[in-house]
Chains A and B, each alone.
Chain A
Amino acid sequence: MANSIRRTAGVTATAAAVALGLAACGAAQEAGGDGDGNLLEQLQEQGSITVAFAGEIPYSWETEDGELTGATIALDREIYAAMGIDNVEGQYVDWDALIPGLNKGEYDSVSAGMSILPDRCAQASFSDPALMYTTGLMVPEGNPMGLSDLQSVIDSDAQLAVQSGTIEQGYADDLGIDNPEVVQSSQDGMAAVSSGRVDAFALTAISLRSMAEDNPDSGVEVTEAFVAEIDGVPQVSAGATVFRDENTDLLEAYNEQLDAIVSDPERFEEVVGEFGFTEAERPAEGLTTEMFCEGTDEDLQEAAEIQESK
């Protein structure tokens, strides 16, 4: 899940240690390479960049043959090629360690469709919005309870499952949904729906769709995507590529190429369409990283209006 905020139990100690070590050295860390101001030139000279990925379908993962693929990787390849960097290397990193490792200089960018969130903006710099996220519900085939969004889950008293550490878990908490089942992985969530243990599993729509397509015999379907609302505020969410704060030259060059793709529906479809992304996931013109980094109710409201009027 590109917008998930977590990543599994076993790694916690390591991640905590990394986070702690990082907090301790904090800004003092001048991260990777020499003379950082010129990271862009350096990369162009090398003709190669290393990006971190968390192995999440359909954003960025490695196939069984070891080939790096996914929507954010496809975007990266297009963009870096236009910048004169022809080779994109991947480094697998646990979700929790993506930003800490970036700041330590282990790689130069995070390509995992990470949601732009205020807490994260405090730690690193996000590119312009690359992909818009909406929420979906996985329900038993035929949608017997007629669920359409989180409000309908509350109204019909349906049993909901959410994945530990995801934005959807936060929505369920904020909406006061009673005792949702907390699953550890998206596969667990699908199993909970198909076994009849829960009535619905809430997750990023794009993740649910790709999972349902990969498992046609599981007896589940995915409802139409929606934007969750909390206290009347639409919870718009956007994924982007992450860079270190000091590499502004790289960020600006990246944004320039990204905007060229995102502002053109056909090109967007061409690059990320094969991974299940549609026009609905294309960020509208006028959406800014700042809106999501600030993330106040007004910002989200404004972002929702911009995205809707596309």
Chain B
Amino acid sequence: MLAAIFDWNLAVEAFPQLLVAFLKVTLLVTVVASLLSIILGLVWAIGLRQLPAWLGWPLRLFLDFVRMTPIPVQLLFVFYGVVVFRPRVDALIIGVIVFGVHYSTYMAESYRAGIESIRSGQWEAATALSLPATRTWRAVILPQAIRNTLPSLGNWTIAMFKDTPYLIFIHVAEMVTRAREFGGMKFSYIESFTIAGLIFLAASYPTAVLMRKLEKKLEY
């Protein structure tokens, strides 16, 4: 029965193609966009706390706007906006930037939660010692805050992994699109989608383990 549903030869044929698509697009975009969003997210979070109100609320508005509109819409909007001025722009770069900025808004929220979990005594002590703001952040607040934030940053990274199929909206064919094409070619989808799912799992699981290890290392 299984043989009728699942053709191992097709699965074997699909695997190398899908792996290449995974490495060249899915993994590349996720890694670079994750780094971008981890850095930007922190910048937003500190900005929201430190900036004067007249700069703070436009930033808040921008972050909410990005966080509350869907990724496909943002991809299309930026892509067709940029193409008007730079027709030859590499769609992959647009993908990285949109994913990076989109997820940075979620990460900013995570950082904010981490920062707000620091007891007010820590802030007061820093003020009492008249530590400059940069030193307060670097030496007192962030080391504690990031420890609290790390698990959810890991989750956002894994979520980003699974959003990469949206890249087809800007003509970038990543692994899931390739799996669909392969299925259409053979009139049999189960094999290529199974392989794609397993590759996702094989990549996401070590990421999760790695994050857990990192958390342990940062514990007191």
A residues with CB within 8 A of B: 5-7, 9, 12, 15-16, 19-20, 23-24, 26, 95-96, 99-100, 119-120, 123, 159, 161, 164-165, 169-170, 181-184, 188, 192, 195-197
| Interface check B49, CB cutoff 8 A | no
**Bound-complex Cα distance A179 to B1 (A):** 40
- The answer to whether B4 touches A23 (Cβ under 8 A) is yes
Interface of B is mostly: helix
| B119 CB to nearest chain A CB (Å) | 49
| Interface check B187, CB cutoff 8 A | yes
**Bound-complex Cα distance A119 to B184 (A):** 11
**Bound-complex Cα distance A184 to B4 (A):** 31
**Bound-complex Cα distance A26 to B5 (A):** 9
- The answer to whether B180 touches A169 (Cβ under 8 A) is no
Choice from A15, A26, A170, A181 contacting B4 with Cβ under 8 Å: A26
| B59 CB to nearest chain A CB (Å) | 33
Measured between beta carbons, the chain B residues less than 8 angstroms from A197 are: 83, 87-88
Q: How many residues of B contact A (CB 8 A)?
A: 23
Quick one: closest A residue to B184, CB to CB?
A: A6
| B88 CB to nearest chain A CB (Å) | 7
CB < 8 Å A-B pair total: 77
| B173 CB to nearest chain A CB (Å) | 4
Choice from B91, B171, B185, B189 contacting A165 with Cβ under 8 Å: B185
B residues with CB within 8 A of A: 1, 4-5, 83, 87-88, 91, 168, 171-173, 177, 180-181, 183-190, 193
Choice from B5, B177, B180, B181 contacting A23 with Cβ under 8 Å: B5
| B17 CB to nearest chain A CB (Å) | 8
- The answer to whether A182 touches B168 (Cβ under 8 A) is yes
Measured between beta carbons, the chain A residues less than 8 angstroms from B180 are: 6, 9, 12, 165
Measured between beta carbons, the chain A residues less than 8 angstroms from B171 are: 161, 181-184, 188, 192
A-B contact pairs, 19 of them (CB 8 A): A5-B184, A6-B180, A6-B184, A12-B180, A12-B183, A15-B183, A16-B183, A16-B190, A16-B193, A19-B188, A99-B187, A100-B187, A159-B88, A164-B177, A164-B181, A169-B181, A181-B171, A184-B168, A195-B87
Kindly list 7 other residue pairs between chains A and B, CB separation below 8 angstroms, not including A5-B181, A164-B177, A195-B87. A15-B183, A23-B4, A119-B185, A165-B180, A165-B184, A197-B87, A197-B88
Query: Given A5-B184, A159-B88 in contact, is the A20-B168 Cβ separation under 8 Å?
Result: no
**Bound-complex Cα distance A149 to B102 (A):** 41
